[in-house]
Structure 1
Amino acid sequence: MEDSDRLDGPKQNSTDSTTTTRRTYLRSVTAMGVAGMGALAGCSGSSNSDSVDPEVPDGVPAEVQSQYWRDDWPHVSDEQYSQGPPISRTASAGAAVDPISMEYSREVSPWMQQYAFMFQEGFNQLGASTDLNNRPLNQLYAESWAPAGLEAVISMSIHGPDPIRAVSPVALLMRKHQGSPSFYEKWWHPRMQEVLSEQAITTGNEEKRVELIKEAQQIFSDDVAGIIPFFPDLVTAANTEKFEGYVNMPGNGPTRDTIPWSEPNLQPNTDETSYVKGTTTTMDTLNLPWGGGGPEDFTLRYIYDGLLDVGPDLQLVPALATDWEFIDDTTVDFELREGVQWHDGEEFTPSDVKFTVEYYTENDAINQTLFYNPVESAEVVSEGSGGTIRFNLKNPNPTFISHSAVNSVIIPEHRWEDIDTPSQHTPDPPIGTGPFQFDSWSQGSRFRVKKWDNNWKWDDEFRSEVLGDDFASGDGIDELIWSNVGNTDAMIGAINSGDIHSIDGTLSISQAERATESPAVEKFTVENFAPLDTKLNFLVPIIRDKEFRKALAHSIDNEGFVEDVLGGRATVAEGQNPASPLHSKWYNSNVEGYAYDTDKARTILEKAGYTWNNDTLHYPNGEAWGAFVERIQDGNTYKRRTDLDQPDFSSSS
C-alpha cells in the first residue's frame, strides 16, 4: 500500500505514549468514519529493522512454532495434533516480532472497524506491527466453533445478548473450560479448570456457586485470558408516534429479537395494527431446532415457546413451565402451564415435552444441544392441571434451569412424530405455542406472523407483573412483519418515511441521529451484559507469554475509545472481566485493573527481555530468550517472570 493511500491512520510503530497523542488519534478515527477507513485495512505490515544476531543458551531451541501444546490440552485428538493448528507463527531468539494477524467483521457493529484500528495502534505503541482482516461475520462464527481453533492471533467479536448470558456470566466463563465445545482460544489455567468444574456440579448451594464464579472472574482478569474492553450500549430507533409500550430489555433493547418483550406489549396509537421491523438479515429456513443459528434462531422463537423466559430484570420468568424444582442433584421437575394450545388448536401436554427431548436426542437437533444433552431421560409425572414433566439428568447440573430450560424450544408431537429426517424438514407451516403464529414467508424479503390470542403474553396481568413500569395495557398489535430493506442506510430512510416502524439492529450514534430526523421516531439506548471480546490465540508463542499479555492489556485505551468514539455509550470493563455489573450478585468488581499506560507496558516487556531495534519489537535474546521459552511451556503460561524466579532483564541490557 502506498503512503498516499493511508489517509491519516495510525502511524506505524509510533512510540509516543502520551494520552494526548492517543486521544488525538481516536478523534481522528471518529472524524474519518467507518467508510473513510476502509482503505486502511491490512496496512500496518512489517517494518524495516536491523537484524539481530541470535544468542541461544545450551539446551534451548532457537525458535518455537505455533502448535497444540499436548500437556495443556490432552483432549486434542491425535489427528489434530499431527496436522497442527490452522495458524503458523514462529518466535525466534532476538528476531523481530512478526506482524500480528487481527480479524474482525464490520458486520458486527458500525464502530467495529474503528475499534480494530484503535487496537492496532496499541500494538504500534509497543513496536509491533499488525495485519488486519475484515471477514464476513459467518466466517468468524464458523471459525470460532471449529475444533482446530482460531486462524488469527487476535479475533474480535461481540457476544450476542442470548438469554442464557442474561441470567449470569456462567455461560461466557464456561467457554474457558476444556470440556466446552467453544474452547477455541485454547487458554488453560489449572485453578480455572477446578473452579469451573466445581461450579458445574454444585446444585442447591447458589452462594457457593457465586463465590466460585467470582473467583473465575479474578483468574480470567489476572491472567489476561482475553481482552475485554467494554460492554457496548445498544442504540436503536423506533416509531413512538404510532406505537407505545416499548420494553428496553438490557442487552436486547426494545426492537431486537434475542429476548423479545416489546411486541406483545406494543399498543397502537392509531388504526394501524401491523407492526413492521426493518432488517438487513435473511432467514434461511423455517426449521428452528435443526437450523444453523442464523436470524431464524431468534425470529422463529416468536412462534415457539420454551419452558422458561428471561425478563427485563434479568430474572427467570415462567413460560410453558410455571414452577420448577430440583428434587435432588440430578432430578428436576417442571409444573406446566394449564390451557395452552398449539397454533393448530391441539392441546399442549407434558407428552409434547417428553417427545421433544427424546426426538432431539435421537436426531441430533444441533440448535437445541444445550437443552437436551444434559438429559438422561424424561418422564411424565402427571397430566392434570397442565401436568408435570421430570428430567433425570446425566450429572448434577445447576444450570439446567437457567441455561437449558431457557434455551429450550418445544415442538408438537403430532406434527413431528412421522418426520423421519427432521434435519431436512421444512415445517409447512411451523406450529408452536408462541405469542405469534406463522402467516407467510418470502425468503430474502419478508416474514409475517399473526397474533395468537391463546398465549399468556397477551394477558395484562401477566405482562404487568413481568414488565413493571414498561407495561402497557391493551389489545396489542395484530401482526408483526420483518421487512428486509437491504442495508442500514435504507433502514434509516424507511423509518423516517414511515415505511417501517423500528430498526432490528444496532446503530452508531450518528446513524441514530439520522434515524430520528422524523419527529415520529425516537432513539433508544440500553445497557448491555454481553461484552466485546477480543480473543487471544494461545496456540501462538507470543500470546502464551503472560508478560506480553500484561503489556498488551496496558496498551489499549478502552476508556478513550468509549469517550471519543462511542460518546460514552458503553460500560468499560473492570480489568479483563467478562462479567457485567448487570449480573449483580454474580459480579466481582475486585479484579486486577489495567489502566492505559504505554510506558508501563513497555517496561513490562523490557524487564521480560524484549528489546527494540529501530523502534521495532524483538523477541528476547540470550538468557532472556531461554526465560521466554520457559514461560511459554506447558504449565507455565499462567505464571509471570517472578513466579519462575527469572531476573529483571532490563538491568542487564
Structure 2
Amino acid sequence: MGDDDGDGNGADDAVVEDPDGDPVEEITLLSLAQGDAPARYEYGQMIQDNLEELGFEVEYDPKPINQYVESRQEDPFPWDMMVRRAGDGYEPAEAIFRRFFHSSNIGDGGSNMYGYENSEVDDLLAQQRGEMDPDARTEIIHDLQEILREDMPIVPLLIQERAMPFNSDKFQNPTVMLEDGIGCFWNFLNMEPTGDDAHLRTSMAEDLTTLNPLMLVNRGDREMIRLIYDRLMRVTPDIEVEPWAAESVEAVDDTTIEITLREGMTFHDGEPVTVDDVKFSYEYAEEESPEMASRLEVLDSIDVESDTELVFHLEQPSAPFFENALARILILPEHIWENVPEDVDAESAIDWDNPDAIGSGPFQVVSTDLGEELQLSAFEDHFNPPNVDRVTRAVIADMRAGIRAYEDGALDMLSWELPFDDISRFEQRDDTNLSRNLMTSIHHIGFNHRNTPFDDAETRNALAHAIPQEDIVDAIYGGTAQEIHNPMSSGFDTWYWNDVPQYDSNVSVAREKLAEAGYEWDTDGRIHQPPE
C-alpha cells in the first residue's frame, strides 16, 4: 500500500531479558465519550488495543464533550495522544496547517495544542500566505505536506461523509454545504417551511457555551453566533468568497483592499451599522481575541474614507486574507463592546458569555439559557431576512439524546452526523430526508510533543502504523468515510497531494519500526525506551 511495508520480523531480536532503557510510561489516550461521538469512542478503543499489543500501557480516557474540550488545552496537558476531529474551513493551509502546526500558536489557548515546532514549516506557512499566484502557492502547500508526512506531528486518519436528518414534512429545499451540511449558515436562511409553522427546532451534539463573537472555537457555539452577527464577506455554498455586509470588496493591489459597506444596516437594538463599527471590530478582535488575532497578523491599518468606505492596508500580500479574515471577523456594535470587559462581569472580553447578544445578522436573540436552549427570531430589517420565523437551539445531553428527541418529534433537524448504525433507520422514515455532504475537518490522532517519546519523529512514524485506518473506515463508518494520508481533506482536489507516501495499518510493521528506532521489549512484553 505504501513505501513503509515490512514483515515485522526485525522486532524479534529486540526482546531481551533485561532491557537497558526504562519502561515507556503509561500513555493517556484522550477521546470523546460514547454518547457524544460513538464512532470516535469506538475507534479510540481499537487504537488502545493496538498500542497494548505493542507493549504499551494505555489509560483510555473518554470524556463528555465539555470536559474533553477543557482537557485538550489544560496545562499541564493531561494526555499523550488524542482522538480528534477538527480543522473545518475553506482555507486548509490556514484552518489546519497554520492552526495546528505553526509555533506561534503554542501557548495558553493556542490552537497548536500539540506543541509541535518546526522552523521550516513556519517559513513555508509564511511563504504560502504571501504567494498570490495560485499554482505557486499550491506547490508550497504540497511541500508542506511532504515535510509533515516525514515529521508525522499528527496521524491523519479520515474524512467523513456526514448524514444529517431534517423533517421533510415541515421543511423543504435545504441548502447543503461542504463540511457543515444543513447546519450551514445558508440553510438557516433558505430552508422553506412547507406550511404555516415556520419554527425550526434544532440541536447538535455540542453544548452551547457562549454567544461571544470573539470565541468562535466550538462548533456548537459558532453555528448560532454566525446567525446573529454579520461579516463583510461570506463563503457561499459553492465555496466562493463573496461580499455580504460589504456592498463591494476590491483588491486595488496585493496589500490594499477597498471596502464599501452596505447602506441602511442596523443592529438589533436599532442603532445603525457604521464604518466605525467595522474598523472597531477588526482592531478590537486583534487586541482582545487570540483566535482572531492570528487571522489578522498581516493587517497593518484600516482607514475610514467616508460614511460607507474603508481601506484595509496589509503589511504584506496575503492570499487567504479574504476567507480567513474578511469572511470570518464578525461586525460588533462599538457602543456595546467598547465598554467590555469593564462594564460586564468578566475578567476579559473573551470571558464574557454575552447572553443578550446584539448583532446585525438575520436572526436576533429572544432568550438565552446557555445550559438549556437559545431562542432566536427572524430580524425582518435585515437585507436578507430568513424564510423561517424562529429558531430554537436545544441543548441535549449527547447524540443519543438528540436522536431520541428527533424521533419523538421534539426536533426538526440535527446538524450533527448520524452514527452509521442509525442511518438505515432514518432512511426508512417517510417524514425525514437525509442531507449528505463531505467534510473539510479531518479525523486524526494527535501527539503531545511535550512528552517523551512523542517528541521523536521516528517514534511517531512507527506509531502511525498502529492506527487501524482501513478497519475504522470499513467497520465503523461502513464506507461512509475516506482514508487520508495528509492533514487535509481530499475534497480539496488541487491542494491535496496524492503522491505523499502512504503508511500501512499494520501492528507488525509498527513493532518493527519501533525496534529499528532502538526500542526493546522485556520478556513480559512491556516496551522500553531506547538505551541512552
TM-score w.r.t. structure 2 length?
A: 0.86
Question: What stretches of structure 2 of length at least 5 have no aligned partner?
Answer: 1-6, 9-14, 346-351
Quickly say closer, same or farther: Cα 1:187–1:497, change in 2 above 3 A: closer
CA distance in 2, matches of 1:539, 1:285: 30
1:152-551 equivalences in 2 (<5 Å): 152-159=79-86, 161=88, 165-174=89-98, 175-180=100-105, 181-200=110-129, 202-254=130-182, 256=183, 259-279=184-204, 281-289=206-214, 295-361=220-286, 364-365=288-289, 368-370=292-294, 374-383=298-307, 387-394=308-315, 396-417=317-338, 421=342, 424=345, 429-458=356-385, 476-515=387-426, 518-551=429-462
CA shift, 1:397, in A, is 3.7
Which SS does the other structure have where 1:522 is aligned?
strand
Letter in 2 for 1:524: S
1:105-136 CA deviation, whole Å, 9 max, x = no partner?
A: 22652211111111112213423332211234
2:11 — aligned with what?
none
Which SS does the other structure have where 1:389 is aligned?
strand
2:62 — aligned with what?
134
CA shift, 1:593, in A, is 0.2
2:521 — aligned with what?
612
Q: Is the 8 A contact 2:355 2:368 kept in 1?
A: no
Quickly say closer, same or farther: Cα 1:484–1:619, change in 2 above 3 A: closer
CA distance in 1, matches of 2:67, 2:207: 16
Letter in 2 for 1:271: D
Letter in 2 for 1:99: E
Q: Is the 8 A contact 2:93 2:125 kept in 1?
A: no
**Farther off after superposition, 245-254 or 295-304:** 295-304
1:69-103 CA deviation, whole Å, 9 max, x = no partner?
A: xxxxxxxxxxxxxxxxxxxxxxxx34443332211
Which SS does the other structure have where 2:154 is aligned?
coil
CA distance in 1, matches of 2:156, 2:44: 13
CA distance in 2, matches of 1:138, 1:173: 25
CA shift, 1:216, in A, is 0.6
CA shift, 1:214, in A, is 1.4
Q: 1:580 aligns with which of 470, 482, 489?
A: 489
2:3 — aligned with what?
none
Q: Is the 8 A contact 2:331 2:359 kept in 1?
A: yes
CA distance in 2, matches of 1:420, 1:608: 52
Which SS does the other structure have where 1:544 is aligned?
coil
CA distance in 2, matches of 1:152, 1:94: 22
CA distance in 2, matches of 1:538, 1:346: 49
CA distance in 1, matches of 2:355, 2:37: 34
CA shift, 1:515, in A, is 4.8
Which SS does the other structure have where 1:261 is aligned?
helix
The root-mean-square deviation of aligned C-alpha atoms, in Å, is 3.1
Question: What stretches of structure 1 of length at least 5 have no aligned partner?
Answer: 1-15, 18-49, 55-92, 459-474, 630-653
CA shift, 1:149, in A, is 6.2
CA distance in 2, matches of 1:331, 1:486: 47
Quickly say closer, same or farther: Cα 1:52–1:335, change in 2 above 3 A: farther
Quickly say closer, same or farther: Cα 1:145–1:397, change in 2 above 3 A: farther
CA distance in 2, matches of 1:51, 1:346: 76
CA shift, 1:143, in A, is 4.3
Q: 1:100 aligns with which of 9, 24, 27?
A: 27
CA distance in 2, matches of 1:440, 1:117: 40
1:159-202 CA deviation, whole Å, 9 max, x = no partner?
A: 153xxx223333211121212233332333343232123223x1
Q: Is the 8 A contact 1:104 1:112 kept in 2?
A: yes
CA distance in 2, matches of 1:454, 1:394: 37
Q: Which has the higher contact order (CA 8 A, sep 6+)?
A: 2
CA shift, 1:208, in A, is 2.3
**Larger CA Rg, structure 1 vs 2:** 1
Letter in 1 for 2:487: P
Q: Is the 8 A contact 1:559 1:572 kept in 2?
A: yes
CA shift, 1:396, in A, is 4.6
1:66-145 equivalences in 2 (<5 Å): 93-106=20-33, 108-145=36-73
Quickly say closer, same or farther: Cα 1:184–1:449, change in 2 above 3 A: closer
CA distance in 2, matches of 1:506, 1:99: 33
Letter in 2 for 1:185: Y
Quickly say closer, same or farther: Cα 1:213–1:234, change in 2 above 3 A: same
**Farther off after superposition, 591-600 or 514-523:** 514-523
CA distance in 1, matches of 2:214, 2:527: 50
Number of positions where the alignment pairs a residue of Structure 1 with one of Structure 2: 510
Which SS does the other structure have where 1:230 is aligned?
strand
Which SS does the other structure have where 1:556 is aligned?
coil
1:603 — aligned with what?
512
CA distance in 1, matches of 2:368, 2:252: 43
Letter in 2 for 1:590: D
Letter in 2 for 1:504: S
2:348 — aligned with what?
none
CA shift, 1:456, in A, is 4.2
CA shift, 1:225, in A, is 1.7
What fraction of aligned residue pairs are identical, expressed as a percent? Answer: 25
